[in-house]
Amino acid sequence: MNILEVTHLSKEFNLHILNNKRIESLKDINFTMKEGEIIGLTGKSGSGKSSLMKCLYRTYLASTGEIIYLSKNGAVDLVKADDHRIIDLRKNEITYCSQFLSVIPRVAAIDVVCENLFRVEKDKDFARSQSKNMLEQLGLPYDLWDAFPVTFSGGEQQRINVARAIIAKPRFLLIDEPTASLDAKTKDVVVDMILRLKAEGTSVLVISHDEYTLDRLCDRRIDLKFGEIISEEMATNQ
Residue 6's closest CA among 200, 205, 218?
205
Based on the shown chain and the rule CB under 6 A, indicate whether residue 48 belongs to the binding site for ligand ATP.
yes
Alpha-carbon distances of 105 from 97, 142, 167, 211, 231, rounded to whole Å: 18, 20, 21, 34, 42
Based on the shown chain and the rule CB under 6 A, indicate whether residue 47 belongs to the binding site for ligand ATP.
yes
Contact between 173 and 207 (Cβ < 8 Å): no
**Phi, psi torsion values for 145, nearest 5 degrees:** -60, -35
Based on the shown chain and the rule CB under 6 A, indicate whether residue 49 belongs to the binding site for ligand ATP.
yes
Q: Which of 45, 102, 237, 238 binds ligand ATP (CB under 6 A)?
A: 45
Distance CA 186, CA 136 (A): 11
Based on the shown chain and the rule CB under 6 A, indicate whether residue 100 belongs to the binding site for ligand ATP.
no
Distance CA 3, CA 75 (A): 9
Instruction: Tell me whether strands 2-15 and 172-176 are parallel, antiparallel or unpaired.
Output: unpaired
Q: At what angle do helices 124-137 and 154-166 cross, to 10 degrees?
A: 140
Based on the shown chain and the rule CB under 6 A, indicate whether residue 50 belongs to the binding site for ligand ATP.
yes
Q: Which of 9, 33, 37, 51 binds ligand ATP (CB under 6 A)?
A: 51
Based on the shown chain and the rule CB under 6 A, indicate whether residue 43 belongs to the binding site for ligand ATP.
yes
Q: How many residues make contact with ligand ATP (CB under 6 A)?
A: 11
Based on the shown chain and the rule CB under 6 A, indicate whether residue 211 belongs to the binding site for ligand ATP.
no
- Provide the β-strand partners of residue 21: 15
Nearer to ligand ATP, 13 or 126 (CB): 13
Based on the shown chain and the rule CB under 6 A, indicate whether residue 98 belongs to the binding site for ligand ATP.
no
Based on the shown chain and the rule CB under 6 A, indicate whether residue 20 belongs to the binding site for ligand ATP.
no
Which of these segments, 40-48, 152-160, 178-186, 190-198, binds ligand ATP (CB under 6 A)? 40-48
Distance CA 86, CA 179 (A): 28
Based on the shown chain and the rule CB under 6 A, indicate whether residue 65 belongs to the binding site for ligand ATP.
no
Nearer to ligand ATP, 140 or 178 (CB): 178
Nearer to ligand ATP, 49 or 216 (CB): 49
Interface ranges with ligand ATP (CB under 6 A)? 13, 23, 25, 43, 45-51
